[in-house]
Structure 1
């Protein structure tokens, strides 16, 4: 078994909007760092930061999130809004479609399953 210490926010961040995400309100700016990929290439761990604004999001992959700070209102199509805050942990299923409203600047750690 090997263990890897993950250092957040090292190197240059990826700044473009992710595939499946579209700004629909405001002018949010986001930064993402991919800090580790599993040996089999199926898991990616990283850090994500974003300023206030609203996105239309369509997920292809499962994501587990630990919020460090900020507030997000997540509303699935046809569903009720879920509010997540710093200190919360949550999961987004691969078939999610809806909106992410960044209410307060967000700092989160994530794990995405690609397969």
Structure 2
């Protein structure tokens, strides 16, 4: 019952944050109706990681080698979730979609276009709204869960 109360209390703001994505899925999760839709377990079998680096013109310092493992992508391509890793380095970033981040390991300093810097460590969570631009400075190797939502800009 506690889970249902929490979903009822926080479900509306979360759905508003992600533009209503998953409203039908959330209802299925709460009611347990047999729709054939299953949850996606991040701890399940490992998914292939795609290694990459930011465009060299965006890198400020270090060698921010990165991997991404997409655990889920919606049929319409407007929502995805997965795990991301990055080695120390700093680069300019521009977010085309809303991104929710939960830092699992490491330290990153995110600085916005006005110069306001925030440090995030393991256990921290935040959202970078579509249109955010600034820098990511990975100080210690980072592993995070992410969700991306909304139409690409």
Judge conservation of contact 2:83–2:146 (CA < 8 Å) in 1.
Answer: yes
Single out whichever of 93-102 and 33-42 deviates more from structure 2: 33-42
Q: Which has the higher contact order (CA 8 A, sep 6+)?
A: 1
* Aligned residue number for residue 41 of structure 2: 6
**What do residues 52-83 of structure 1 show as CA deviations (whole Å, max 9, x unaligned)?**
11011011110001111111000011131011
1:38 aligns with one of 63, 67, 74 = 74
Cα distance in 2 for residues equivalent to 1:62 and 1:5: 20
Structure 1 segments, 4+ long, off by >4 Å, are none
* TM-score normalised according to structure 2 size: 0.68
Judge conservation of contact 1:6–1:36 (CA < 8 Å) in 2.
Answer: no
Gaps of 5+ in 1: none
Gaps of 5+ in 2: 1-27, 29-36
1:85 aligns with one of 102, 111, 121 = 121
Q: How many aligned residue pairs are there?
A: 114
RMSD: 1.9
* TM-score normalised according to structure 1 size: 0.88
**Residues 66-85 of structure 1 mapped to structure 2, 5 A cutoff:** 66-85=102-121
